[in-house]
Each structure stands twice: as C-alpha cells, then as structure tokens.
Structure 1
C-alpha cells in the first residue's frame, strides 16, 4: 500500500457515518441513462458496499431510453405532454419489455461475485414484485395520458420484512391497479412514494444531470425544502434538473430527512455523497443540516472521537470520558447531519467575571470553512450572556489564530486565582485574554 497512514485516516473519518447509518433505510434511484452509459456494474458494487455496512437498500430504476429503443424497433413514435409520456397500448408493451429487460440486467449486476472484485462473497439477494399500487393520471389539459399513471400506495408492510431479512428490494417504474391493469410511472414518482412510505432516512437520485448551480454559477450543495422550492420558482434550472428537484421537495415534505441528487458520471458519487462532509451533489433537507448548539450527554462519544488525535499529539490536555461526562454542560458542539465536527468548552470563574474557553477543536476535514470562528463567536456570546467581561485561553500551538481574533498576550498572574493554582508549568501554555 502506497500510503497506509492516509488509508487509516480515511477509514477513521468515515467511521462516524458507518455507525450513524447502520440499520437505516436508503432508497437509491437511477434513470435508464445510467444503464445505457454502462455504469450499472459500478453502481451495483457501491450499493453492495452499503448493504455490507448494514444499510437497508431499496433500488428504483428508470427506463426512458430503453422504452425509446423499444418504440424505435417497432417503428412507433413517442408522444409527450408536459414532459410525461402518453402511454397508449402499443407504448405500454414497450414499457413492459424495457422494464423486464432492465430488471434482469440489474439482477445480473447484483449477482457478481468473482474473486478479487468488490462483490466477492457478497451473495446479495434482490427481490422484486407487485409492490406498487397505481392509478391512471387521466386527462390533463384535455390530453388523455392513457396508461401513464401515478403511484398510489407502496406495500411497505411487505417490503420491511424483506429488508430486515437481508435482501435488497427492486422497484420498476410500473404500478398495478386493483382491476389488474399495469401503468407506466416515472422513476422519480416511485422513488418518492417508496421513500415516504418506508420512512427512509435517505433518498438518493444517481442522476444524469450535472451538479446544480445557482444564477451566479456557484455550486449548490445544500438546500432546505423551502430554499429548493424558491429556486424552482425562479425558472432558471434546466428541465431535467428541475424535475429532480421537484421530487426532492415532495419527498422532503413527505418526511424524508435527506434527499440527494448526485451525478453518475463521477465514479463512486453515491459513496462520496454519503460518506464525506461536503459530498459531491446537492442535498435537500427538511431543515438546516448544520447546527451549533450546547452539548448533551449523547454527544460525549462524538467529542471524544474529535479530540483524541489532538490529545495524542499533545495539542490538548488529555480528558477521559468520565471528566467530559461531568463537564458536558460546559461544552458546545457543531453538528452536521448527525456527526460532530467541532467543539469547545466554557469554564466559568464568576468571582473575576472571567471565563476560560478550552478544548476548541474542529475536524481537519473542515478546518478551512470557518467553523472554528463560528464556535469562537458562539462561546463569546455564551460568556456575555452569563455576565462575564473577559474570555481567556491557554494554548501551546494556536496563539497566532487567537491573536488575529482580538486576543492579547497576558501572564499567569492575570488569570483568576483558582485557575492560577491549576496552571500546568510543564506545558508552559501561553495565556491570551480578550475583552468582551
């Protein structure tokens, strides 16, 4: 291995996500264009990795280019209204043909198991069936869409036991009515209906669209459902991107906490989106994902994992779990999508109206994004609210960072009396004070 240290650091960095996602339900949806592009085997490997990590996965596939191909073979012309296919009886036969062929291709992709490949020893079972109940869309603007339908119900009571038994569930863009008719559905509609009915933790669209950008050309990485809806109203997005984003908003409003759009052109995009802080696509959430708040006892494990490397190299004074548990009320944390990326503690010295900020730590992955400064401002506000007039820190390696933010050099004699008695003369930490 060329760089074993980098590998170990990477593996440690994804551990919090692995712990957070084990036992959760993800819906992974992709268009027929992904299969046409030859990306199905790689996606199958990535989904099998999610499965191996204990994540329950439902797969939803699209079939538009495959249906177009079947129509062309029969010398039939495709008809659309407002972006939706008008599915007559002949087109419906093409839809069934395409869905059946794709289902077999997907099952074959998940049957890979050659030695020295990512799916060696995987033995994944994938189950499909009549899990989607649908109804016809009917007549819209005077146009009869015939066998084009919309999902009405997902058989979640049947799907949940299948997932719990360790199998994957595959949903095609087809639904069935109580009268025995089949209807052509959109992949996005089935995916949203499935994620909502199953109370999925994530819905991931592995799409043919590039990363979303705003009017100024800046990457759009995170949006709340309200922000996404406002962006849609501007009308600036390409039609395909807008269609995906509409589905994201609908899923978010249906109770799906996180909905992602990632480009399949990037190798491993789904994994990068799930297991890295910034991801590679656009995420729509029911609320702002990053919160800066006072810590609770449930945060102790995350704080320990964050500060342990700095304790090991001597940057921070070593603290045990019991000490952090006792002092948890002094801590504040920055949390992003359930993972703690920064923390600090505020120790009061009321007699001198001073407070010490200690253990200021930000995950190395995000140190250039201003989280350290946000935590500092938060702790200053906590100190002011508690009636303190001065904030001080003791540091051996980051004095310059604090000096740039208004702290000035001081001496041990300037510290509160009780803190002077606890000063560690072996570490010889610099004393910096800021007037609040």
Structure 2
C-alpha cells in the first residue's frame, strides 16, 4: 500500500536522479543504429537474460539494433559429442565438411534461443508488453577463407558482401536484425565466418553510430589494473599486442575496433557480459562503465588554412586527372583557401569541400552559393566523411544567410540526391554562375533550399 505522505521538496530516490540525467542520452540515441556483438560465452552466462531485457529496453527507446552472436563454445560442444576434431589456426576454425553440420546446428539453436527470449511478454517481467520483431536471413554473402600459411581452411569463410538495402528496410520497420557467424555463397554453399567480422562489416556498411562488443572483461586495464575509459584507434596496436596471448578474444575485438574506427565508426565500446546493466550504464551515463574507442579527439572538421594547400593538392590531383573535378592550380587554391573546409587527422587531409558564394544579380531575391570540390581520401570513401563535411558547409551557408545551394557534377549525381539536392537546369543558376558555366564539361546541375540563420 502506498503511503499518503508526499515529499514535495526533493526526492531521495536514486533512480529519479538517474532518469532525469539520462534524458539527453535517450534523445541523442533515438533512431540511431547500433551494432551489438556478443560471443557464445555471453549466451551461456547467467546474466544473459538481463542483457536481453536491456536490449528490449533499447529497442523501446527507438534505437535501431543489429545483434550479432558468436557460437564457439556451442559448436565445440556439438563437435565433442560427435567426436569430431575441428582445430583452430589463429582466430579461425578449420571447418571441414564433417564439422559444418555441427556449426549449422549450434548457430541455428542459438538463433531460436535468442528469438524466444526476445518474445517473452510475461507479466511482472521487464519484457511485459514488449512487441519485438526479430529478423534473420541470408544477409551475409561469404567466400572461402582459402589457404593461409599452407593450411586449407575448407568451409571457413570471410565476408564478401552484405545485403545492406534489405537490412536497412527491416531496421526502418523497427525490426531487430539478428545475424550469426554464417555466410552463404552465390553457389549455395554455407561458410563458417567470424562473428566479429560480421559485426564490424555490418557497422561500417550501415554507417552505424556505435559498435559494441560484449566480452569477458569490463574493458581495457592499465598497468595498475585501473579501467582505461577512452582510447584512440592509434593507441590500439600496443593493446592488441598486450592481449594477443593473454586474451585473444579481446585482441580480436580490438583489431576489429581499429578497423571500424578507421572506416568512419566514431564510437566502439568494450563492455562485460558479466556485468548487469553494462549496456545501460555505458549508453546513458556520462562516464560509462567500459572502454570506449573514439577518434573524436584526433579528427577535426574546420575551415582550411594556407598550410593545408599541400594536403589539398594530394587529395584533389587524382580526381582532377580522372576528370571528376576541375583542375585547380596551387595559386588558385592559395587564393581560394578560405572557401574550403577540411577533415584533418594527424596532419592528413581526409576530406574537403568548398563553399563559393554567388553574387546576387538584379531581380534575384535569394542569396545563393555553390558547393564544389567535394573529395574524400580513397581509404575512407566508405565512411560518412563526405556527408559530414557537406553538412558542415550547409550549416556555414545558413549562418551566412544563404538560402539556396547549387552543385555541378558529372559523376556523383545520386550521392547529392541522397543528401537532399534536387535536379535543376543551367537556367536555374544565378546569372553570375550561368556566365561561367562550361558547356563542354556539360555538368549536371542540382539545387537545395536551406533555412538561413543570420550570424
């Protein structure tokens, strides 16, 4: 029975304080994509049901979830029961045709187990009233891992492709995607693949906001046994060497974390599957509970400076030689450097774009500008850096009172359409820009209206 006494001045309940302070994180994570990977050991842990409850909570808060599960101990159990030897070389199992049946049974059983747990709706349980649709399927195309170090890995595979369009459609319908360590070839073969690779490739392809590994320890520890809360990708090599022999699972997570960060995933988290509430504490508190790998402090979007001209030339010359961009001399780049924005990390220009205001002619009421020279370093073109720098310049244009942006391109029409630009014609260009149009180049014209906000 509830007490009739009402405390009006303050509340002593810790969850009230926590809930209020978690609101900014709830808002920030809504409609964001997160890829969560947990090994087969996590599924066997007593805390796994709590993890499932937390996953259901994340889903109810509007987070788009991709769950990737491993199955190593479960596969080993099936192999032992049948007396089959399936050794490892490095982090990969040598999957024979004889052992593949055990892989299929273990992976399938885990999928059914997870789907059953996500279907619980019992009264007086954290899942009460939850409506969760999970989807799994042949999203992963694989190819043979091949012969490495003279060893034939047979039906062990590596990822060739992911059906990202289908995955996005399911996420858009508020389904949870469930992926296991299985891939399929175009000829109908089944391959045993690394769950860590599935999670990492999925995060990169989906441009996920976070990639989360639930491992067997809280995170990374320093030499004094204290938790390392944050690292940059550049600091991971030493940690990989440290854990390679003592904890190869963590080393594998770190290897994939580094790859993910270099491909545009800005936050990778290492958490413990033993710790009840690790997901919630990591995502909805300021300090978190595990280790976060982030490039946020080592990569910056900013307006270009004269010292960036050399880096810009290195980035632009290959695209100019291919005819994708118009040639700009060093002298021109130096004169126009204030129009450029760059993404720079550790002295390397990873991406650039320029914003050129267009003079307003008589009878023209809207202030206009042209976005030009959008380029991304070849090693980072599958990341979202092009989108980041375009958004940066759109905000800069809005601050300058510019109401419409134009783009002229010969190769990247679909990319600009995906970013809100609409097909236009040369006649739609302001008079000052029409006069400079190169009919020999025959660029397509695109236009986008933006909300201006004066400085």
Structure 1 gap segments, 5+ residues each: 294-436
C-alpha distance 287-33 of structure 1, shift in aligned 2 (>3 A)? same
Counting only pairs closer than 5 Å after superposition, residues 271-420 of structure 1 correspond to structure 2 as 271-288=280-297
C-alpha distance in 1, partners of 2:71/2:251?
19
After superposition, the C-alpha distances for 1:87-120 in whole angstroms (9 at most, x for unaligned) are: 0011111110001100000000000101121111
Q: Which residue of 1 aligns with 2:325?
A: none
Aligned-CA RMSD value: 2.1
Contact 2:47 2:275 survives alignment (8 Å): no
1:149 aligns with 2:120: no
Query: Is 2:232–2:293's contact at 8 Å kept on the other side of the alignment?
Result: yes
Q: Which residue of 2 aligns with 1:101?
A: 109
| 1:31 alignment partner, one of 39, 44, 63 | 39
Aligned residues between the structures = 292
Q: Which runs of 4+ in 1 moved over 4 A?
A: 1-5, 233-237
- Indicate the residue corresponding to 2:385 in structure 1: none
Range 213-222 or range 160-169, more displaced: 213-222
Please name the residue that 1:238 is paired with. 247
**Hey, what does 2:126 align to over in structure 1?**
118
Cα offset, 1:183, TM superposition: 0.6
| Residue 249 (str. 1) matches residue 258 (str. 2) | yes
8 Å contact from structure 1 (residues 60, 170) kept in 2: yes
Residue 6 of structure 1: how far off its partner (Å)? 2.8
Q: Secondary structure at the match of 1:13?
A: helix
Deviation at 1:210, TM superposition (A): 4.0
Give distance in 2, aligned partners of 1:143 and 1:158.
35
Match of 1:70 in 2: 78
CA deviation map 1:260-317 (0-9, x unaligned): 11001110111111111121111111232999x9xxxxxxxxxxxxxxxxxxxxxxxx
**Aligned counterpart, 2:22:** 14
Structure 1 match to 2:197? 189
Q: In 2, distance between residues paired with 1:88 and 1:209? A: 32
* CA distance in 2: counterparts of 1:234 and 1:106, whole angstroms: 33
* Alignment partner of 1:261 is 2:270: yes
Shift of 1:145: 0.7
Q: Distance in 1 between matches of 2:263 and 2:179?
A: 19
Return 5+ residue gaps in structure 2 as ranges.
Answer: 4-10, 303-455
Encode CA deviations 1:20-57: one digit per residue, 9 max, x unaligned: 01010011110000111233321111011001111000
Contact 2:143-2:157 within 8 A present in 1 as well:
yes
Judge which range, 227-236 or 102-111, deviates more: 227-236
Q: Matched residues in 2 for 1:193 and 1:274: separation? A: 22
Distance change (3 Å), C-alpha of 1:225 and 1:72:
same
User: Structure 1 length as normaliser, TM-score?
Assistant: 0.64
Moved more, 12-21 or 221-230: 221-230
Q: SS in structure 2 opposite 1:203?
A: strand
1:164 to 163, 168, 172: 172
Distance of 1:122 and 1:238 partners within structure 2 = 37
In structure 1, the residue matched to 2:59 is 51
Distance 2:181 2:242 in 1: 29
CA distance in 2, matches of 1:235, 1:186: 18
SS of the aligned residue for 2:124 comes to coil
Other structure's SS at 2:191 match? strand
Give the Cα separation in 2 of the matches to 1:170 and 1:212.
27
Question: What is the CA deviation profile of residues 114-142 of structure 1, one whole-angstrom value per residue up to 9, with x for unaligned ones?
Answer: 11211111110100000001111101100
